[in-house]
């Protein structure tokens, strides 16, 4: 008596399998970890990576396996090495958590396109980087079922690439419920001292780049210091890697006394991030363009009031939990910072609404919607 062959799902785990993760890498990591608990053993799952899996990814159920695809050139792994694997050992479905697909694909492919900021904010990208992203996204919309992280991003992909909405699924992001919102006062003190942060402080988390409106944030902080902080009490803490437009943005505080009140930490280990959110007076995120805006959720869950842009996906994610500003108006951003200091009732209301809003987003929910899309693809 023959047994029915299992459907094989291949997942590109290369972005999740890195030590210093940022937004997209964390999405890939948490999604894979949640899918391990959701996908039944009637399916076979293969995780593809460049190096052996680590950081917990190497632990998986019996019907999962790891396939390390060595590639000495260290570049074009997806387009070359993963493509070759699709040719010789194709799964029934390939899922890529980032919108870069191999050139050769199995019959069914699903890919996550997080945003198309490179189309809407072209000035924030180099020519060749933008061209690469355009080509890869065009290929993805033509060849695969698209997952995206917000209704805003979905509409943008349709607008710029003519994607078929019927071949798209919105899977909002989540946050790590086991860490954010569970930080003691002692831990906050320990972590802020370790990073030499003087309280009180405003916090920004994200790539330090033009698209995130770093220049506008620094200009707003300078206005806040000059007009609303007579005692020179407040600091601005920046967490994130430097990106395109960083040097230009830093001119906003170059040579001024305000520069001494800005603390740039660069990349920070994930275990310290919840305490830095929890210790902040407010999280200030006046980004010009976000496909989702995951740091807003993390701040909500940490009990930290949020100032953010009334633009792109951010109102969709933040709901009634944030104090909204025009990202192009530094004076308004500075005014919002002053309001959160002066109005205790507003602070408490935002903290309460933010916590309630965060409860609507979990990585389990993201994984469940993703699994539904995978099942449909297998039909």
Both tokens assigned to 164: 């078929």
pLDDT, residue 123, reads 85
Q: What would the pLDDT profile of 284-328 be if each residue is shown by its tens digit? A: 999 999 999 999 999 999 999 999 999 999 999 999 999 999 999
pLDDT, residue 75, reads 85
Place of tokens 């009732």: 345
| Helix (H) / strand (E) containing 108 | strand 108-112
Please give the residue that has the higher pLDDT: either 203 or 98: 203
- Mark whether 221 and 126 lie in a shared domain: no
Give a yes or no: residue 179 inside a domain.
no
Q: How far is it, in rounded angstroms, from Cα 232 to Cα 211? A: 29
Segment 334-355 mean pLDDT: 96
Tell me if 365 sits within 8 A of 149, measured CB to CB: no
- Mark whether 160 and 190 lie in a shared domain: no
Q: What would the pLDDT profile of 243-282 be if each residue is shown by its tens digit? A: 999 999 999 888 788 889 999 999 999 999 999 999 999 9
pLDDT at 4 over 80: no
Please, which pLDDT band fits residue 2 given cuts at 50, 70 and 90?
Answer: very low
pLDDT, residue 165, reads 94
Please state which of the ranges 33-37, 73-77, 183-187 shows the lowest mean pLDDT.
73-77
- Mark whether 105 and 232 lie in a shared domain: no
Q: How far is it, in rounded angstroms, from Cα 160 to Cα 140? A: 13
Q: How far is it, in rounded angstroms, from Cα 44 to Cα 54? A: 20
- Mark whether 62 and 141 lie in a shared domain: yes
Give a yes or no: residue 180 inside a domain.
no
Segment 328-349 mean pLDDT: 96
SS3 186: helix
Segment 128-148 mean pLDDT: 93
Query: Average per-residue pLDDT in the chain?
Result: 94
Give a yes or no: residue 2 inside a domain.
no
Q: Which domain holds residue 50?
A: 7-174+362-378
Give a yes or no: residue 130 inside a domain.
yes
Give a yes or no: residue 200 inside a domain.
yes
Give a yes or no: residue 281 inside a domain.
yes
How many residues would you count in the chain? 379
Give a yes or no: residue 126 inside a domain.
yes
Q: Nearest-CA neighbor of 291 among 102, 120, 43?
A: 120
Q: How far is it, in rounded angstroms, from Cα 199 to Cα 278? A: 12
- Mark whether 314 and 249 lie in a shared domain: yes
- Bridging pattern class, strands 145-148 and 108-112: parallel
- Mark whether 162 and 192 lie in a shared domain: no
Give a yes or no: residue 1 inside a domain.
no
78 burial via Cβ count (<10 Å: 0-12, 13-18, 19+): buried
pLDDT, residue 213, reads 96
Q: How far is it, in rounded angstroms, from Cα 218 to Cα 351? A: 24
Residues 28/32/35/36 CA torsion (nearest 10 deg): -170
Number of domains composing the chain? 2
pLDDT, residue 344, reads 95
- Mark whether 146 and 51 lie in a shared domain: yes
Q: How far is it, in rounded angstroms, from Cα 360 to Cα 47? A: 29
Please, which pLDDT band fits residue 1 given cuts at 50, 70 and 90?
Answer: very low
Cα angle 330, 248, 114 (rounded to 5 degrees) comes to: 75
- Mark whether 218 and 265 lie in a shared domain: yes
Q: What would the pLDDT profile of 357-374 be if each residue is shown by its tens digit? A: 999 999 999 999 999 999
- Mark whether 211 and 282 lie in a shared domain: yes
- Mark whether 213 and 250 lie in a shared domain: yes
Share of the chain above pLDDT 70, in %: 99
Contacting residues for 221 by C-beta, under 8 A, at least 6 apart? 202, 236, 253, 258, 261, 262, 334, 337
For residue 217, give the CATH number of its domain.
3.40.50.2000
Tell me if 357 sits within 8 A of 319, measured CB to CB: yes
Q: What would the pLDDT profile of 192-232 be if each residue is shown by its tens digit? A: 999 999 999 999 999 999 999 999 999 999 999 999 888 88
Beta-strand runs (E) in 161-297: 168-170, 201-205, 235-239, 262-266, 282-285
- Mark whether 170 and 212 lie in a shared domain: no
- Mark whether 14 and 91 lie in a shared domain: yes
Q: How far is it, in rounded angstroms, from Cα 188 to Cα 194? A: 10
């Amino acid at each position: 008596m023959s047994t029915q062959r299992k459907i094989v799902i291949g997942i590109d785990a290369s972005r999740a399998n890195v030590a210093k993760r940022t937004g997209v890498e964390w999405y890939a990591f948490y999604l894979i970890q949640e899918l391990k608990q959701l996908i039944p053993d009637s399916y076979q799952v293969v995780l593809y990576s460049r190096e052996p899996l680590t950081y917990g990814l190497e632990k998986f159920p019996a019907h999962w396996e790891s396939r390390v695809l060595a590639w000495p050139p260290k570049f074009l792994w997806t387009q070359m090495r993963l493509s070759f694997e699709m040719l010789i050992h194709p799964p029934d479905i390939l899922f890529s958590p980032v919108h870069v697909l191999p050139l050769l694909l199995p019959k069914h492919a699903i890919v996550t396109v997080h945003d198309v900021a490179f189309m809407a904010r072209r000035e924030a990208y180099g020519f060749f980087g933008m061209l690469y992203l355009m080509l890869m996204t065009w290929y993805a919309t033509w060849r695969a079922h698209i997952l995206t992280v917000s209704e805003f991003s979905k509409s943008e992909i349709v607008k710029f690439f003519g994607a078929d909405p019927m071949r798209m699924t919105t899977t909002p992001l989540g946050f790590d419920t086991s860490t954010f919102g569970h930080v003691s006062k002692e831990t906050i003190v320990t972590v802020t001292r370790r990073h030499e942060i003087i309280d009180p402080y405003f916090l920004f988390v994200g790539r330090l780049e033009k698209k995130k409106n770093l220049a506008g944030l620094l200009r707003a902080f300078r206005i806040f210091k000059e007009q609303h902080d007579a005692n020179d009490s407040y600091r601005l803490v920046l967490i994130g890697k430097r990106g395109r437009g960083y040097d230009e943005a830093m001119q906003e505080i170059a040579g001024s006394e305000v520069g001494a009140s800005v603390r740039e930490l660069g990349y920070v280990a994930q275990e310290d991030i919840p305490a830095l959110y929890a210790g902040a007076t407010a999280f200030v995120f006046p980004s010009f363009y976000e496909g989702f805006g995951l740091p807003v959720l993390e701040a909500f869950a940490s009990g930290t009031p949020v100032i953010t842009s009334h633009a792109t996906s951010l109102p969709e994610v933040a709901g009634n939990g944030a104090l909204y500003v025009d990202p192009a108006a530094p004076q308004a951003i500075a005014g919002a910072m002053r309001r959160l200091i002066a109005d205790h009732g507003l602070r408490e209301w935002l903290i309460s609404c933010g916590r309630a809003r965060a409860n609507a987003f979990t990585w389990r929910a993201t994984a469940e919607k993703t699994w539904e899309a995978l099942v449909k693809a297998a039909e």
